[in-house]
Amino acid sequence: MQKFKAWIIWGALTLSIPIYVFVGYVVTQDAVDAVPLAPNLKLILIVVSCAMAASSFFIAKKFLSRPSSLPPPFPQPPAPDFNRWLTFHIIRWALHESIALYGLVITFISWTFTEMLPFAAAAIILNLLSMPRNVPNPLKTH
């Protein structure tokens, strides 16, 4: 059941990207002339997108590799491994989705549909690379 939840969340966040592409396509169909982008705007959004992608890998490597623990003054049992895994993967998938949103922003600013395609492609590729494969079993005893 837990693995099914992870796949549903991943699927929803991944399938939202083609919806953004569709919205960008529909909105730009009535555009008469494309508006030139500010010279540095696209570069800034590309750099921010690269930072989002890098931070998603940092999150996975840094936070999922160390055991969860609470400070000594308030001893409580740590959260199950699945909850920790799912939380950080939802954050990771949302960071990937934000890359597609940056492309949608560029499309709305420039009224050019093709501006968003590299951003959407990068977001889909990153989500495919981070599919929920090794979902921890919450019933496993340590």
What is the residue extent of each domain of the chain? 2-65+79-129
**Whole-number average pLDDT of the chain:** 83
Find the mean pLDDT for residues 5-32.
92
Residue 4, pLDDT above cutoff 80: yes
The C-alpha angle with vertex 38 and arms to 104 and 95, in degrees rounded to 5, equals 35
Find the mean pLDDT for residues 47-76.
73
CA distances from 46 to 5, 6, 52, 114, 116 (A): 32, 29, 10, 15, 11
Query: Burial code of 88-125, b = ≥16 C-beta within 10 A, e = fewer?
Result: bbeebbebbbbbbbbbbbbbebbbbbebbeebbebbbe
Residue 100, pLDDT above cutoff 60: yes
Closest CA to 142 of 69, 63, 88, 81: 81
The enclosing H or E element of 81 equals: helix 81-110
At which residue do the structure tokens 């090794």 appear? Answer: 134
Say which residue, 132 or 19, is predicted with more confidence. Answer: 19
The enclosing H or E element of 87 equals: helix 81-110
Structure confidence at residue 70 (pLDDT): 53
